[in-house]
Each structure stands twice: as structure tokens, then as C-alpha cells.
């Protein structure tokens, strides 16, 4: 397997990991807005995986990348103050350990994907492949921005409720 094929397979694994993480988070949370948003993140990851799978098949069949880098718009909107959880959720965040962990794990998954895609982009020799990894980086940066913004929105209330930091 050539380096580009290997990077596509690894990218598919990243997207698969994200899909399963966000699907589980959507199933476990009791907050309706969180269920919807985690579900949308899962759908995004599944769409990314399908796109990568098509590119991998094209690369295996043609010996090169013929498809243009995808322009997939994320279903999540990081512009909202609280893009994942309802404001009521923040009021009772103290016992929401699973959801807070799901956000933290999601951040780590997205950061790992971004760093890997940046490495693949640096190693790529063809401009078209570099553009592909730029598109992948943008996908994951949108998710990362959403998750970080949500974590920041909830963090002080969560810490205060659980006495993690003096206030």
C-alpha cells in the first residue's frame, strides 16, 4: 500500500472513531439539543468517511486521485454561544460527567485528526493531494471549534458545581 493510500485508510479510521463516539454520545445524553448536535456531528463524520472511501476506491482503481477535494458543509454551527447544549443544561451541568467527558474526548479526536492531516499534507507531493488534506483539516477544525466553544461555555459552571477550582 502506498503512502497516500495508507493516509486515506488512517483518515477513514479517524472518521469512523468520531462517528462511533458521537453516535454513542447522542444515545447517552438526556439533553435534546445535545442529542441532536451529537447526532449531527456523527452524520458529518459518516459523510467524511464515505467521501474518503470513494477517494480511496478511485485511487486504487485509477492509480491516482481523480476526484476533486470535497466541499462538504458541516451540519454543526460553531457561531452559536452554546452550539451543543441548551441553556437549561448549563444550570444542571454538575452531574453531567458523561457529556463533559464526551466533549473532551471529541476535542482530542478532532485535534488528533487535524495534526495527522497536517502531517499528511506536508508529506504530499501533488497539489491535488495537498488540497484534499486542506479540506479535511477544515472539516475537523469546524468540529473542534464547536466543541471547544461548548466546553468553554460549560466549564466554569461544571468546575464550580464539582468544586474543581476555588472561586
User: Up-side HSE of residue 161: CA atoms within 13 Å toward CB?
Assistant: 15
- pLDDT confidence bin for 153, thresholds 50/70/90: confident
| Residue 164 confidence (pLDDT) | 76
- What's the predicted TM-score (pTM) here? 0.83
Residue pair 138/69 in contact by the 8 Å Cβ criterion: no
The mean of the pLDDT values for the chain is 84
Degrees, nearest 5: CA angle 139-150-15? 30
pLDDT digit string, tens, across residues 125-138: 888 888 889 988 99
pLDDT digit string, tens, across residues 27-53: 999 888 889 889 999 999 999 899 889
- pLDDT confidence bin for 85, thresholds 50/70/90: low
Burial of 48: CB neighbours in 10 Å, binned 0-12, 13-18, 19+: buried
- pLDDT for 118 beyond 90: yes
Q: Which residue has the higher pLDDT, 157 or 166?
A: 157
Domains of the chain: 3-162 (1.20.1260.10)
**Strand segments (E) across the chain:** none
Q: Which residue has the higher pLDDT, 54 or 75?
A: 54
Q: Locate cell 484534499: which residue?
A: 132
Residue pair 51/34 in contact by the 8 Å Cβ criterion: no
d(CA 141, CA 130): 16
d(CA 132, CA 120): 10
| Residue 3 confidence (pLDDT) | 85
Degrees, nearest 5: CA angle 11-14-16? 110
Residue pair 22/41 in contact by the 8 Å Cβ criterion: yes
Least confident among 86-90, 107-111, 139-143, 149-153: 86-90
Amino acid at each position: 500500500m502506498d503512502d497516500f493510500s495508507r493516509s486515506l485508510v488512517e483518515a477513514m479510521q479517524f472518521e469512523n472513531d468520531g462517528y462511533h463516539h458521537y453516535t454513542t454520545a447522542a444515545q447517552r445524553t438526556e439533553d435534546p439539543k445535545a442529542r441532536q448536535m451529537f447526532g449531527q456531528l456523527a452524520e458529518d463524520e459518516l459523510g467524511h468517511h464515505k467521501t474518503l472511501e470513494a477517494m480511496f476506491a478511485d485511487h486504487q482503481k485509477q492509480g491516482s486521485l481523480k476526484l476533486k477535494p470535497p466541499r462538504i458543509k458541516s451540519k454543526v454551527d460553531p457561531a452559536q454561544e452554546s452550539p451543543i447544549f441548551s441553556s437549561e443544561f448549563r444550570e444542571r451541568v454538575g452531574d453531567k460527567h458523561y457529556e463533559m467527558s464526551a466533549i473532551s474526548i471529541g476535542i482530542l479526536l478532532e485535534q488528533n485528526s487535524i495534526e495527522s492531516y497536517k502531517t499528511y499534507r506536508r508529506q504530499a507531493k501533488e497539489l491535488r493531494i495537498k488540497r484534499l488534506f486542506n479540506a479535511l483539516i477544515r472539516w475537523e477544525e469546524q468540529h473542534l471549534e464547536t466543541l471547544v466553544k461548548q466546553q468553554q461555555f460549560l466549564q466554569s459552571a461544571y468546575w464550580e458545581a464539582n468544586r474543581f477550582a476555588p472561586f
